[in-house]
Amino acid sequence: MPEIPDVDPDLLASGHVRAERSGAVLTVTLDRPQARNAQTPTTWRALAAIGESLDDDVRVVVLRAEGESFSAGLDRAMFGEGLPGEPGLLELARMAGDQLDETIAAFQRGFTWLADERVISIAAVQGHAVGAGFQLALACDLRIVADDAKFAMRETSLGLVPDLTGTAPLVRAIGYSRALEVCVTGRWIGAEEASRIGLASLRVERADLAQAVDDLVAALTAPDAGAVRETKALLAGATGRSDAEQHAAERAAQGRRLAALAALVANAGK
């Protein structure tokens, strides 16, 4: 598959990320298997750059990882002074409020683009998905997990909080009470439980993970692109609207779809 031309290849390489486009499908791969795909701020900058390169022809984003684990979370070197050129936790602790806020906001941009209303994002998770790895999977709309997948949110054991956009999607997926328990205890969630409580859309054997993703991609790209995007927007905004507001949003979306279909019929008759 061709690489994405608008993203600096050196940034991708230093962030240990690959991005390949095939038609309407963009596949993003964490490619640091020797470190269980541990993440750094460069990883997040690379992911953010991929998000900034999105165009309207991309319909599905698949986020996957090489090796035995999806992502073991933050690179352990970041727990001190950090890696060369990267702020570690100690440097972050010394930052003033506004500077720290801006720094973390930049980190979060590596995650937020996966919720873009133009695409449906899928995380294909095998092995460990810990901390930042868990939050990266949560940033996606859908999660398919191999039977060896294990999730854990370990930030509180370090005196920290999950700050890479994972808290809201976790609550939406499994509810407030369970999300609180998972985050505070830092316990493992295995593949069977993830499927049972709604964290995962599908659980498959490890050998079947790639095929299951391919099958889902085919199903997601079969319907009309405009209808899929309008539907995602309706569902994504539903919890923030009253019933009356949601009903109005449905009417407006259907109006746009009917207008698009009418224009398509009119153009076909020319």
Residue at 1 is within a domain? no
pLDDT (mean) for 43-61: 97
Within 10 angstroms of residue 263's Cβ, the number of other Cβ atoms is 10
Residue at 147 is within a domain? yes
Q: Do 261 and 189 belong together in one domain?
A: no
58: pLDDT strictly greater than 60: yes
Consecutive H or E run containing 218 = helix 209-221
Q: Do 157 and 259 belong together in one domain?
A: no
Average pLDDT over all residues of the chain: 95
Structural domain count of the chain: 2
What pLDDT does residue 3 have?
Answer: 63
Pick the closest to residue 87 from 96, 97, 77, 98 (CA basis).
Answer: 77
85: pLDDT strictly greater than 90: no
What single DSSP character describes residue 73?
Answer: -
User: What domain range includes position 78?
Assistant: 9-221
Q: Do 122 and 181 belong together in one domain?
A: yes
Residue at 168 is within a domain? yes
Percent of the chain residues past pLDDT 90, beyond the cut = 88
231 CB burial (10 A radius; 0-12, 13-18, 19+): middle
Residue at 246 is within a domain? yes
Model confidence pLDDT, tens digit, residues 179-206: 999 999 999 999 999 999 999 999 999 9
Q: Are 128 and 71 in contact (CB under 8 A)?
A: yes
Confidence bin at 265 (pLDDT 50/70/90): very high
Q: Do 115 and 188 belong together in one domain?
A: yes
80: pLDDT strictly greater than 80: no
Confidence bin at 78 (pLDDT 50/70/90): confident
Q: Distance (Å, rounded) from C-alpha 67 to C-alpha 52?
A: 27
Pick the closest to residue 139 from 248, 230, 233, 51 (CA basis).
Answer: 51
Stronger pLDDT, 84 or 57, i.e. the higher one: 57
Residue at 72 is within a domain? yes
Within 10 angstroms of residue 216's Cβ, the number of other Cβ atoms is 19
Residue at 4 is within a domain? no
Confidence bin at 252 (pLDDT 50/70/90): very high
Q: Are 53 and 2 in contact (CB under 8 A)?
A: no
Half-sphere exposure of 64 (CA within 13 A, CB side): 21
2: pLDDT strictly greater than 70: no
Model confidence pLDDT, tens digit, residues 121-137: 999 999 999 999 999 99
Model confidence pLDDT, tens digit, residues 90-114: 889 999 889 999 999 999 999 999 9
What pLDDT does residue 97 have?
Answer: 85
Q: Do 211 and 236 belong together in one domain?
A: no
pLDDT (mean) for 151-169: 96
What pLDDT does residue 259 have?
Answer: 97
Q: Distance (Å, rounded) from C-alpha 137 to C-alpha 199?
A: 10
196-to-31, 149, 174 alpha-carbon distances in Å: 29, 13, 10
70: pLDDT strictly greater than 80: yes
Q: Do 156 and 170 belong together in one domain?
A: yes
Q: Are 72 and 36 in contact (CB under 8 A)?
A: yes
φ, ψ at 123 (rounded to 5°): -100, 125
Residue at 203 is within a domain? yes
Model confidence pLDDT, tens digit, residues 205-218: 999 999 999 999 99
Token duo for residue 200? 């995962």
What pLDDT does residue 79 have?
Answer: 85
What pLDDT does residue 22 have?
Answer: 96
Which residue's structure tokens are 């095929």? 211
Q: Distance (Å, rounded) from C-alpha 194 to C-alpha 154?
A: 17
Consecutive H or E run containing 57 = none
Q: Do 166 and 37 belong together in one domain?
A: yes
What pLDDT does residue 198 have?
Answer: 97
Which residue's structure tokens are 């010394």? 94
Please enumerate in sequence order all residues whose Cβ is within 8 A of that of 77, keeping only pairs 6 or more positions apart, or say none. Answer: 83, 88
Residue at 66 is within a domain? yes
